[in-house]
Structure 1
Amino acid sequence: MNGERRVPVVSREQKLVYAGIYVLKKMDLKPADGGVEMPLVLPSELTPLEDVLQELVNADLVEVNRRKARFEITRKGLAYLTEIIDEAEALIEEFDEESLEDAVAELRRRNVDVLRARFLWGWYDGELDDLVLFQQRRGASPVEPWWADYLLSDAFYEELLRDVARA
């Protein structure tokens, strides 16, 4: 890179929003369906999510349950998750039959954030449920084994943007 500093493809704030959406889904699902309980003292593989969880608490989407020693989704968090699901379903319903190129062109024409649309599509349809598998399917090398690290990495967002950049 010859000493050049890379500019991240998304800001830290954007990563916190997308990661928050991702974490809310993980917290809402049952463990048998890929859900994850978020203990107050996070295990090392989940420590990258500390700021994400703090942002969710600050937004009243998640609360601290000291008795159970874990984070839990609030009613406001469940309502927000419903809004996100509705947004993702509307995108899929409208653009499912379109080519990627046509869908991206239309989203850009409407001044819609194509990264958000791409993220929500993959988040909703399950493509992003297993981020290790997501990396493997795309030929990443090396594969980041800890999903929380990958979720907050530039590499993850670069991969999502690669899809829309081709369009």
Structure 2
Amino acid sequence: MMTSTIHYGLLIALAIALVVAAFTDIRHRRIDNWLNGAIALGAPLFWWSSGLTLWPEVALQLGVAVAAFALLAGLFALKMMGGGDVKLLTALALWVRPDIFLNLLIVMALAGGVLTIVMGVWHIMRKQRDRLAIPYGVAIAFGGLWVLYFNLFPAAATAAAAQ
């Protein structure tokens, strides 16, 4: 019972952190390192509360996070992605199973496309001539919240009911 309470508490904390990341990215166009660090540091507690084994489950989580970071760091080097976005997605990879992480990436990409169109129209309507800056942390947070709501919370409820 205590483990499921901790599990739900961690999921709620992650949801709050994602909302904070989205709002800080909208407001300041950056996602703070302390927030990304807190998300990453919460993952081992989440693994424990989920009952993941060190091998192969936790190792797979770490592998996906390392692969995501390597790929996303390349996009950062090409100036296609912000550093805070890279760190946020890498931290989320620590929380989400690889198959669900793919869902997160798909939902994030779709949300990012909609966000880009909306921001582009807004930019044109305001007749701004400066470079358009997309707060992609919003799309990442949306993808993360989508996965939380449709994958992680139902899985936690099933696990709690089985106990």
TM-score for both structures, normalised by structure 1? 0.28
User: Structure 2 length as normaliser, TM-score?
Assistant: 0.28
> Whose helix fraction is larger, Structure 1's or Structure 2's?
2
The structure in which a higher percent of residues are strand is: 1
